[in-house]
Amino acid sequence: MEVTAGPLGALLPKLTKLLQDEYNLEKHVREGIKSLEIELKMMNAALHKVAEVPLDQLDDQVKIWASNVREISYDMEDAVDAFMVRVEDDSHSRPNTFKKRVNWSIKMISKLFKKAKELHQIADAIKEAQALAQQMAGLRERYSGLELQNSGVAATIDPRLTALYIDATDLVGIDHAREELIKILTEGEDSSKQQLKIISIVGFGGLGKTTLARAVHEKIGAQFDCAAFVSVSRNPDIRMIFKKILHQLEKEKYTNINESSWDETQLIDELREFLQDKRYFIIIDDLWDVRVWDYIKCAFPKDNLGSRLIMTTRNVNVSKACCSANNDIIYKMKPLSDDDSKKLFYKRIFPHGNGCPCELEEVSNEILKKCGGVPLAIITIASLLANKEIQTKDQWYTLHNSIGRGLTEGRNVEDMQKILSFSYYDLPSHLKSCLLCLSVFPEDYEISRDRLIWRWIAEGFVQQTQKDGSLFEQGENYFNELINRNMIQPIDIDAEGKAKACRVHDMVLDLICHLSSEHNFITVFDDIGNITSSGKKIRRLSLQYSMTECNTTWCTMTTLQLAGGIFLEIDITIDNSQYDRNWMDALHSSGDDVETKLTISTYFDMLFVGSIYFVSVLN
- What is the average per-residue pLDDT within 556-566? 48
- What is the average per-residue pLDDT within 455-480? 82
413, 514 contact by CB (below 8 A):
no
How would residue 611 be classed by pLDDT, with cut points 50, 70 and 90? Answer: very low
Half-sphere exposure of 517 (CA within 13 A, CB side): 18
pLDDT surpasses 50 at 566:
no
In this predicted structure, which of 152-161, 412-421, 600-609 has the lowest mean pLDDT?
Answer: 600-609
pTM over 0.85: no
CA distance 312 to 95: 66
Q: Where are the domains of the chain?
A: 2-142, 174-332, 523-619
pLDDT at 395: 80
pLDDT at 101: 47
pLDDT surpasses 60 at 166:
no
421, 54 contact by CB (below 8 A):
yes
Summarize pLDDT for 116-150 with one digit per residue, the tens: 455 556 667 666 666 766 666 665 565 454 455 54
Residue 78 is classified by DSSP as H
- What is the average per-residue pLDDT within 293-307? 89
CA distance 91 to 352: 77
pLDDT surpasses 60 at 592:
no
CA distance 405 to 386: 21
- What is the average per-residue pLDDT within 252-269? 89
DSSP-based three-state secondary structure for 315: coil
425, 52 contact by CB (below 8 A):
yes
pLDDT at 38: 74
pLDDT at 416: 74
Which secondary structure element, helix H or strand E, spans residue 94, and what is its range? none
pLDDT at 552: 47
- Protein fold of 174-332: Rossmann fold (3.40.50)
